[in-house]
Structure 1
Amino acid sequence: MTTLYLLGSAAPPVLEISQVIEDAQGRGYDVCLGLTPSAARWLAPQLAELERLTGHPVRSEYKAPMTADVWPRADVALFAPATFNSINSWAMGFTSSFVVGYAAEAIGKRIPLVAMPCVNAAYAQHRALDRSIAELRGMGVTVLYGPGGFEPNQPGEYRAEGYPWGLALDVVGAMVSPTT
């Protein structure tokens, strides 16, 4: 089975992660869920259910050295939602959180990576965001941002069409077809 690492930051779409896992599983992926520490706090009441749903521990911290990995090897990774902080940290190589560290290392391991930011229009005005997205794209990461990807909304704005999770999973599927 094809293993998808689903990595998420603390942005409102992370609250929909159980439906995304089910969608990915329906597409044939074995899903492992990694979260930033803040996202793990947001989802704390659901972590046991998310572990049951995926069949794997939910990770938000680095494992101890010399400890066996609890996840199978990734075939592809999707970092979504990826916040302003996560995108900039990843592009700059600041790996203080497990999911950003994994994503940074996956570039060197040549694991296919898709990222979809979730930033509002105020953050999008900061020049660091465009530089970071360009840097990640330059390293081979498929970043779904701008026309045809995630487009920023105004701060506090709710978008009726929601976060484009289906698009992200479609792009993952075009990169690495699931096998059973």
Structure 2
Amino acid sequence: MSRAPVLHLVVSAAGPARGIAALVDLLSADGWTVCLILSPTAATWLDRAALAETTGHPVRVEWRFPGDPEPHPRADAVAAVPATFNVMNKWANGINDTLALGTLNEAVGAGLPVHAFPCVGRGLGNHPAYAGNRRLLEQAGVVVTDLPNPDREGWQPVVDALRPTRVRRSAE
């Protein structure tokens, strides 16, 4: 009996995060089991109870206590949507000060398929640290695709970018 591949979706605090429920619905319809991990700031913006009901899994923000069971099934892939300037730079430098960053760091180290969809404005995108850190993540195997504007283009480009990973993982 095959199971739907599991996507750990890491959400950080950029404007598009407010519409993440629509992305979760599309990903679920596309065949993913979605588990959400939110940055602490994104957690204050979103209805965690409603998202947990939609996904069937708790929405995580904080580390679990040592010895407690893992509340999410093991990931087949991880995606950071949206990934902020702060998240991209901290992640590239291995900073592990939130569960969201810990999830991303561990996924890279475990060799899982990892996608990042940065949502970084022009001013921050031109900062000298950003280009180098983005390149570092790409060299580590992270597929980095600028986040399309969901207000104009919808979330479908994200679903489409993740689909080859889902198809590949469900065939294994």
With structure 2 as the length reference, what TM-score do the two structures score? 0.91
Work out whether residues 107 and 141 of structure 1, in 8 Å CA contact, stay in contact via their aligned partners in 2: yes
Deviation at 1:160, TM superposition (A): 5.5
Q: Which SS does the other structure have where 1:78 is aligned?
A: strand
SS at structure 1 position matched to 2:152: coil
2:114 match: 113
Partner of 1:29: 32
CA deviations on 1:39-61 (whole Å, 9 max, x unpaired) are 00111xx1111000000000011
Q: What is the one-letter code of the residue matched to 2:152?
A: E
Contact in 2 for aligned 1:76/1:172 (Cα 8 Å)? no
- 4+ long deviations beyond 4 Å: none
Which whole-Å CA distance do the structure 1 matches of 2:28 and 2:13 have between them? 22
Name which of 5, 8, 14 aligns with 1:11.
Answer: 14
Please show how residues 139-150 of structure 1 align to structure 2 within 5 Å: 139-145=140-146, 150=147
Aligned residue in 2 for 1:155: none
Change (3 A) 1:159 1:68: closer
RMSD across aligned positions (CA): 1.8
Query: CA–CA distance in 1 between the matches of 2:35 and 2:151?
Result: 28
Give the TM-score taking structure 1 as reference length.
0.87
| Kept in 2: contact 1:107–1:113 (CA 8 A) | yes
Change (3 A) 1:160 1:50: closer
- 1:156-180 Cα offsets, whole Å, 9 max, x none, are xx88525x6322221211123174x
2:164 is the counterpart of 1:161: no
Equivalent residue for 1:98?
A: 99
- Partners of 1:93 and 1:123 in 2: how far apart? 20
Q: Name the residue aligned to 1:175.
A: 165
Question: How many pairs does the alignment contain?
Answer: 167
CA pair 65-169 structure 1, distance change in 2 beyond 3 A = same
What are the residue-to-residue correspondences of 1:18-57 with 2, within 5 Å?
A: 18-43=21-46, 46-57=47-58
Seq. identity, %? 34
Structure 1: 5+ residue stretches without partners: 152-157
In 1, Cα distance between the equivalents of 2:65 and 2:127?
36
Q: Is the 8 A contact 1:114 1:168 kept in 2?
A: no
What runs of 5+ residues in structure 2 fail to find an aligned partner? none
Q: Aligned partners of 2:85, 2:50: CA distance in 1, in Å?
A: 28
